[in-house]
Amino acid sequence: MTLYVLRRLLQLFPTLAFILIVVFILVRLLPGDPTSAILGDRELDADVARINRQLGLDRSLIVQFGAFLAAVATGDLGNSITLKVSVADLIIQRMPVTILLTVMSAVIALALAVPLAFVAALRRDKASDAVIRGAFQVGLSMPVFYLGLILLTVFGARVGWFPVGGYGEGFFDHLYHLFLPALTLALSLAAILMRNLRSAIIGVVDAEYVQFARAKGIAPRLVLLRHVLRNALISTVALFGLSIGTLLGGAVITETVFAIPGAGRLMVDSIYGRDYPVVQGMTIGLAVLVSLTFLATDLFQAWLDPRVAQ
Amino acid sequence: MTALMTRARALPGPLLLGGAILGVSLALATFPGLFAPYDPVAFDYNALSAPPDRTHLFGTDNFGRDVLSRVIHAYTIDMQIAFFSTIFSFVLGTIVGAFVGYAGGLAETIFGRIVDAVITFPFLVLVIAIVSVLGPGLINMYIAVGVVGWVFYARIIAAEIVVQKRLDYADAGRAMGYTPLRVIFRHLLPNAITPAIVYLMTDMALAILLGSSLGYLGLGAQPPTPEWGVQIAEGKNFMTTAWWISVFPGIAIVVTGLGFSLLGDGLAEVMRTRK
């Protein structure tokens, strides 16, 4: 197990390298160049040369990439052009909002998917199974921004149970403000997890070890929790890890719809404002977050099923 | 004719329903002018934000444009998005996956690392980052999706080829002295491609979601082009006063997405029963 954890930690490096290479190339592909983006219309040859030197753009690509790696390693992601603060500070400020939103929606997704998957699997091919699967099929084809807009209009503006966006003050107010966005984000993930978990439960519910557990006289509820759920969860946890990237991508849109001051909304705003250092920093931040979650779900999967680690 | 009917009845329901939805979608996408009652970009200042009635079935937007006609014309763009965002990934991924699966060894190891790296990357964030650099618009979106999307097809095909290449008929092909190219593309690939086609259906549904999301954010199709995401964005400030501007394009997205995933599910079912 220790070996597996170490090996899995080592695997982070190619992923991180890929992220940094992609971001580095993207920045070089910018229409015009960062220098003219900074100078705007006031472009003078002397200024161009000075800023090129400042940014290290007069050196070879390899040297530039080395400098970029060194800067990222020390947490220096440059400064925002429009907000005049360091990108690292912005990440520290905005990322917790996005993380809280993502965690909340993951919790909601699981709270919806697990019980519904059980109902659908145990009443396979009955009416309740068909209704649950149909509803989730629709949930899968529902775009996040559309669902968000409808929930916002109905439960925010019309009924008035929830605020129409924003983030609020204090932890519980945050939770209250983030409930609708998190629910929006959760539904498509819940649909994916539910479909997988349903067939996984159907796959193990008649397995010999489950029949044996029942024959031993263990309470049916305990059999479901300890024997069926634990084994059915293995592939679902893997799928959950794979879905984290999609979830964070959805967070970008959800934050925009609900006007939540998170990393995703900042990223979209920075695109409109051509604030490339921020776009770059947020891309790196979100990608690193996904890799770490991916690592966590892999380790959790290995704990559920020790064979994975071998 | 009756034989055809019985065969059609033997097909799974999802396949037929999905096929019907996509058939109608394709017809609307190809000949929008035949079905749309009005010009999708014509302003009618006498009917601003008019609710749905007999003259405007889906109502009109804040410029007096007929929402139904805009939804119908948007089929052209959104079906294009479904096709062009996936087809390059499908072709490239199939070719790369076939070679990687057949070669095995080092190629497979390197490819495995690439897959690991790409899979952990938040897809939408990457696409948004690429589009932000290349500029908004559909072509740049296709490029952004293609850069990443092929990996998923390649992974599916490689896994299938690894199984197929060990079977007797592959050995037979090699024993006949056929070149690896001929064995891969004439013999192995036809037996390995089905899962990739099933994934293609899911992927097309996802492409419509992605394309309309970018349209909503202002990074995809540009107004006044009728595109569902753009239309939803245009109506978002009128949700409490004129819900029909945003709600109907959204229904079109859900129904079309449903069509693709039903067709994919149905295809998968047919393939399973054949096996």
Question: Does the pLDDT at position B132 exceed 80?
Answer: no
pLDDT band at B251 (very low <50, low <70, confident <90, very high): very high
- By the CB < 8 Å criterion, does B145 face chain A? no
Whole-number Å distance between alpha carbons of A161 and B128: 33
Higher pLDDT, A290 or B251: B251
pLDDT band at A172 (very low <50, low <70, confident <90, very high): confident
Distance of residue B116 Cα from the nearest chain A Cα, in angstroms: 7
- Considering only CB atoms, A253 lies closest to which of B133, B205, B217, namely B217
Least confident span in A136-150, A225-239, B69-83, B135-149: A225-239
Which pLDDT score, from 0 to 100, does residue B160 have?
Answer: 87
Q: Tell me whether residues B122 and A22 touch, CB distance under 8 A.
A: no
Dump pLDDT digits (tens) for A94-105. Answer: 999 999 999 999
Q: Tell me whether residues B125 and A18 touch, CB distance under 8 A.
A: no
Chain A partners within 8 Å of B258 (Cβ): 137-138, 141
Which pLDDT score, from 0 to 100, does residue B248 have?
Answer: 93
Q: Tell me whether residues A137 and B209 touch, CB distance under 8 A.
A: no
Q: Tell me whether residues A31 and B134 touch, CB distance under 8 A.
A: yes
- By the CB < 8 Å criterion, does B205 face chain A? yes
Which pLDDT score, from 0 to 100, does residue B275 have?
Answer: 58
Q: Which secondary-structure segment (H or E) carries A150?
A: helix A144-151
Higher pLDDT, B4 or B11: B11
pLDDT band at A157 (very low <50, low <70, confident <90, very high): confident
Distance of residue A158 Cα from the nearest chain B Cα, in angstroms: 8
Burial grade of B238 (CB within 10 A; 0-12, 13-18, 19 or more) = middle
Higher pLDDT, A108 or B240: A108
B60 beta partners:
B66
Q: Tell me whether residues A294 and B120 touch, CB distance under 8 A.
A: yes
Chain A interface test: which of B118, B121, B140, B228 (most A C-beta within 10 Å): B121
pLDDT band at A80 (very low <50, low <70, confident <90, very high): confident
Taking Cα atoms as reference points, which of B260, B255, B188, B202 lies closest to residue B228?
B255
pLDDT band at A119 (very low <50, low <70, confident <90, very high): confident
Q: What is the CA radius of gyration of chain A?
A: 24
Whole-number Å distance between alpha carbons of A35 and B62: 41
% of chain B surpassing 90 pLDDT: 25
pLDDT band at A122 (very low <50, low <70, confident <90, very high): confident
Nearest residue in chain B measured CA to CA from A281: B129
Q: Tell me whether residues A23 and B262 touch, CB distance under 8 A.
A: no
Dump pLDDT digits (tens) for A251-307. Answer: 889 999 988 999 888 888 888 777 878 888 888 888 888 888 878 888 887 887 777
Least confident span in B10-14, B159-163, B251-255: B10-14
Dump pLDDT digits (tens) for B255-271. Answer: 999 999 888 888 887 87
Which pLDDT score, from 0 to 100, does residue A109 have?
Answer: 92
Structure tokens that stand for B15 in this block:
């396949």
Instruction: Give contacts of B 225-264 with A, CB under 8 A.
Output: 229, 232, 236, 239-240, 243, 246-247, 250, 253-258, 260-262
Which pLDDT score, from 0 to 100, does residue A44 have?
Answer: 65
Which pLDDT score, from 0 to 100, does residue B120 have?
Answer: 67
Dump pLDDT digits (tens) for B61-104. Answer: 888 888 899 999 999 999 999 999 999 999 999 999 999 988 88
Kindly report whether the global pTM for this prediction surpasses the value 0.90: no
Q: Tell me whether residues B258 and A291 touch, CB distance under 8 A.
A: no
Chain B partners within 8 Å of A153 (Cβ): 239-240, 243
Whole-number Å distance between alpha carbons of B6 and B4: 6
Distance of residue A190 Cα from the nearest chain B Cα, in angstroms: 16
Dump pLDDT digits (tens) for A216-245. Answer: 888 877 887 777 887 788 778 778 877 887
Which pLDDT score, from 0 to 100, does residue A107 have?
Answer: 92
> Rounded to an integer, what is the distance from CA A71 to the centroid of its chain?
25
% of chain B surpassing 70 pLDDT: 95
Name the residue type at position A233. Answer: L
Higher pLDDT, B152 or A38: B152
Higher pLDDT, A142 or A274: A142
Q: Tell me whether residues A271 and B219 touch, CB distance under 8 A.
A: yes
Distance of residue A44 Cα from the nearest chain B Cα, in angstroms: 24
Dump pLDDT digits (tens) for A36-67. Answer: 666 666 666 667 677 667 666 667 778 888 88
Chain A partners within 8 Å of B268 (Cβ): none
Nearest residue in chain A measured CA to CA from B127: A249
Mean pLDDT of chain A: 81
Least confident span in A75-84, B96-105, B158-167: A75-84
Which pLDDT score, from 0 to 100, does residue A40 have?
Answer: 61
CA angle A233, B152, A100 (to 5 degrees): 50
Which pLDDT score, from 0 to 100, does residue A35 have?
Answer: 61
Least confident span in A299-303, B30-34, B122-126: B122-126
Chain A partners within 8 Å of B217 (Cβ): 145, 253, 256, 268
Q: Tell me whether residues B253 and A143 touch, CB distance under 8 A.
A: yes
Task: Label residue B105 left, alpha or beta by phi (over 0 means left) and psi (-120 to 50 means alpha).
Answer: left
CB atoms within 10 A of CB B110: 11
- Considering only CB atoms, A287 lies closest to which of B122, B212, B261, namely B122
Chain B partners within 8 Å of A15 (Cβ): 116-117, 120
Which pLDDT score, from 0 to 100, does residue B269 have?
Answer: 79
Distance of residue B117 Cα from the nearest chain A Cα, in angstroms: 4
Chain A partners within 8 Å of B122 (Cβ): 244-246, 248-249, 286-287, 290
Whole-number Å distance between alpha carbons of A199 and A217: 26
